Amino acid sequence: MNFTRPHEECGVFGVYNHPEASNLTYLGLYALQHRGQESCGIVSSDGTSLHAHKRMGLVADVFGNQEVFKKLPGKSAIGHVRYSTAGASVEKNVQPIMVDYSRGSIAVAHNGNLVNAQLLKAELEAYGSIFQTTMDTEIIIHLLAISHTNSLVDRIVDALNRIKGAYCLLFLTETRMIAVRDPNGFRPLCLGRLGDAWVVASESCALDLIEAEFVREIEPGEMIVCTKDGNLKSLFPFKKVEPTPCIFEFVYFARPDSYIFGKNVYLARKELGRQLAREHGVDADIVIPVPDSGVPAAMGYAEESGISFEMGLIRNHYVGRTFIEPAQAIRHFGVKIKLNPVREILKGKRVVVIDDSIVRGTTSRKIVKMVRNAGAKEVHMRISSPPTSYPCYYGIDTPNRKELISSSHTLSEICRYITADSLGYLSEEGLVNSVGLENTGFCKACFAGTYPVAFPKPVLKPQMGLFGEEYSENE
């Protein structure tokens, strides 16, 4: 795959006890489309059985026909939008996963990534499990099914105590909806209320669309159980650890109008830009963002530096997920179809270009050349995050380390490669201070290479583990 920037992970949304549960879930997924554009699905419950509709494609395309919702009856539903962080991008991997087992039917939607998935899958297969997908999410279903505990809550807890990594999960049965966030709290998850209905979403912007009240964020390590009597139970069944929410959610992934980890994303991104101007100021005439993710940071940079803010690059918002690229007809076709420079604004100017990150450097190089070809006298690239030097294993699709330009090149080498007059990254300290959440130990693995959850390493002769085997952890 030709990576140019980190890709979104996934988004989950659920409604419990509302007569239009499926329709509301559709709207919720629409608001979370930025978290995954490959596939989407909804599973509903009518109180006695589960019903599903899921396909490859965007939310508006998969659920564009109103007839679909007649096949999704009931007062409860969960939905999922996906970008493949684990498992291929194919029809069989579309979530939510729905299965029948000895205790009835259950569906699960997952945002995140399990770091011990391969080990668990190998052990499950060794004891006869047959997998229908290539997703780590299916491992959770198998673990739940083989649990020797009695209640559904205990089975879920038992299963989740055996996995390691990042997960925000929504489970749906005929009568219950259960939401769980991993003890580290890598990914955001929030709780809302709409009349007598409970709503769970990856981001608060999805609650806004359906006019649900934002109640609170679901805590790291918390399990929320919605039952048929309309009550809500909060449990903390896992061993407590120091939360490490993903700081890159503030840099790029979350929507600017969302409230995550106790902070509004838009305000945080503006402060990233202000701090970037303090750390890497430059004499220039205009500040322009790489839209859309670079806009708030560019506004903050302009305000702090006193340099005029301009939209020097215009984004085509109607570009589909795929398009046919002519072999030689148009150079840099991929960037040009998404961005177009405003020559009248750029001509003869010293330009500061603000972007959220540099991954391989190929896109930044094309953007710098585009701005220069439009008549800019100087092009200064500023990045509102530290260099991305390490891959993420907690639910973000980033390249291998060797494909990350900052892992093997100095600042001056990257600057020369992207053909900019100067280059400046926001410091780690500046990033954390800009977010402004005290006593929060963010996950900064993509910048620092320090991973909060260890990676399991199988030993040669396992003795005690999932089924009596033993494994050690590669710290």
pLDDT digit of tens for each residue in the chain (475 aa)?
333 444 446 999 999 999 999 999 999 999 999 999 999 999 999 999 999 999 999 999 999 899 999 999 999 999 999 875 444 556 888 999 999 988 889 999 999 999 998 899 888 988 888 888 888 889 999 999 889 998 999 999 999 999 999 999 999 999 999 999 999 999 999 999 999 999 999 999 999 999 999 999 999 999 999 987 888 999 999 999 999 999 999 999 999 999 999 999 999 999 999 999 999 999 999 999 999 889 999 999 999 999 999 999 999 877 654 444 444 455 556 677 889 999 999 999 999 999 999 999 999 999 999 999 999 999 999 999 999 999 888 877 665 788 899 999 999 999 999 999 999 999 999 999 999 877 678 999 999 999 999 877 643 333 334 444 443 443 3
On whether 257 is known to bind a ligand per the annotation, the reply is: no
On whether 356 is known to bind a ligand per the annotation, the reply is: yes
Q: Which residue, among 453, 446, 443, 395, has the nearest Cα to 10 in the 3D structure?
A: 395
On whether 443 is known to bind a ligand per the annotation, the reply is: yes
Right CATH for 264-319+331-436+442-447 from 3.40.50.300, 3.40.190.10, 1.25.40.10, 3.40.50.2020: 3.40.50.2020
Q: Which residues contact 423 (CB under 8 A, 6 or more apart)?
A: 380, 381, 382, 383, 411, 414, 415
Residue 226 bears catalytic tag: no
On whether 421 is known to bind a ligand per the annotation, the reply is: no
- Dihedral (C-alpha) 232, 236, 238, 242: value to the nearest 10 degrees? 130
End-to-end CA distance of the chain: 30
- Taking a C-beta distance cutoff of 8 angstroms, is the pair 32, 42 a contact? no
Q: What is the C-alpha to C-alpha distance for residues 44 and 172, in angstroms, rounded to an integer?
A: 8
Catalytic residue among 10, 190, 205, 415: 10
Right CATH for 10-244 from 3.30.70.1230, 1.10.580.10, 3.60.20.10, 3.90.650.10: 3.60.20.10
Number of neighbouring beta carbons within 10 Å of residue 119? 21
Q: What is the pTM of this model?
A: 0.89
Domain with CATH 3.60.20.10 in the chain: 10-244
Q: What is the C-alpha to C-alpha distance for residues 9 and 392, in angstroms, rounded to an integer?
A: 11
On whether 355 is known to bind a ligand per the annotation, the reply is: yes
- Taking a C-beta distance cutoff of 8 angstroms, is the pair 432, 439 a contact? no
Domain with CATH 3.40.50.2020 in the chain: 264-319+331-436+442-447
